[in-house]
Amino acid sequence: MTHGSRDALRSLALQHLSPGDAEKWVGLLHPGARLEVAAGSDDVAGRLGGLPALPAASEWPLWEGHGPLSFVASIDCASLPLAAVDIDLPDAGTLLFFYFDGQLDDGEALVLAEDRESWAGARVLYVAADEEVVERGTPAGVESYPVVPLTARLGMTAAEPWHPQIRDVFAAGAPLGNRYDHPVCSQEFLDALWGFDGEVGHQIGGHAHSVQNPVEIEIAEAVLDGKVSWDDPRLSDEAGGWVLLAQFDSEDAAGMMWGDAGALYWLIRPEDLAERRFERAMFTWQCG
């Protein structure tokens, strides 16, 4: 929902919440690596666009029946502030993110979390630091995005008050994904949070900045095949079992526009992340 330093967010919370509630809320912040366009002498932690460096034996990711995916971003794990980020990333190697962006079919086929048949339309690959790689040109019909180098800056991230983790602290049992009767859901506090920094941005770890409802709920609905209602505790439990791996906002500098100025999100279960099972990451996207 927003991000910033712990002190700045605590100060904001104290303007709208009681001291006790403010400290509870601050305790729910998660550290994340915000990825900003690099300039000058900034250390580069990754890039949007360009061409991926893939292991020689690896094929370009493909959605069977639709075509090759577009390359979105690469992240150099060794250049991230790993000790401070809240997820268990490898300390070296590269994460590569691919997505079927509609170039080949003018946007006809959509990659949707709730559509299992479309899950192959988004992929995250991990390339170990000691693997031999070769930069690959894009497949026919797919144009690469302009290269935009990214630098990483550590910040604290805040989730929406109706995020399951936040709701469980301030209003356990309140309807999932809805505002409830507590000052953390007051319009004044929400406006202050959005006004503090409402940019979705690019990010590794931390709380996702969802454009709509919390992306964890979308993923939970998808893996439960949409068969569980929002008032069923199984949905909340499932949503709590996913963490943000990466989010990539629309970015003018890279010529990236996800729907109506939306964002792409990859989430993963902590146990899969610990075992480096990146093929089990789940994807969704949201726009306004």
DSSP string, 13-49: HHTTS-HHHHHHHHHT-EEEEEEEE--TTPPP-EEES
Query: What is the pTM (predicted TM-score) of this model?
Result: 0.96
State residue 275's pLDDT score.
98
pLDDT number for residue 166? 95
Q: Residue 205 is part of a domain; what is its CATH number? A: 2.30.320.10
Closest CA to 150 of 114, 203, 215: 203
Residue 284 phi, psi dihedral angles, 5° rounding: -150, 170
What is the structure's pLDDT at 131?
96
Report phi then psi at 24, rounded to 5: -60, -45
Residue-level pLDDT at 99: 99
How much is the pLDDT for 177? 85
| Domain membership of residue 182 as a residue range | 2-286
Could you give the CA distance from residue 192 to residue 115 in angstroms, rounded to a whole number? 36
Dihedral pair phi/psi, residue 259, rounded to 5°: 65, -135
Neighbours of 246 (CB within 10 A): 26
* Token pair listed for 29: 């912040």
pLDDT of residue 257: 97
DSSP sequence for 197-258: -----EEESSS---SSS-HHHHHHHHHTTT-S-TTSHHHHHHHTT-EEEEEEE-BGGGTB--
With residue 124 as reference, give the H or E element that holds it. strand 122-127
What does the alpha-carbon distance between residue 232 and residue 175 come to, in Å, rounded to a whole number? 9
pLDDT at 173: 86
**pLDDT tens sequence for the chain (288 residues):** 888 999 999 999 999 999 999 999 999 999 999 999 999 999 999 999 999 999 998 999 999 999 999 999 999 999 999 888 999 999 999 999 999 999 999 999 999 999 999 999 999 999 999 999 999 999 999 999 999 999 999 999 999 999 999 999 999 988 888 899 999 999 999 999 999 887 899 999 999 999 999 999 999 999 999 888 888 989 999 999 999 999 999 999 999 999 999 999 999 999 999 999 999 999 999 998
- By the 10 Å C-beta count (0-12 exposed, 13-18 middle, 19+ buried), 190 is classed as middle
CB-count burial class (<10 Å; 0-12, 13-18, 19+) for 158: buried
- pLDDT score recorded for residue 49: 98
Domain total in the chain: 1
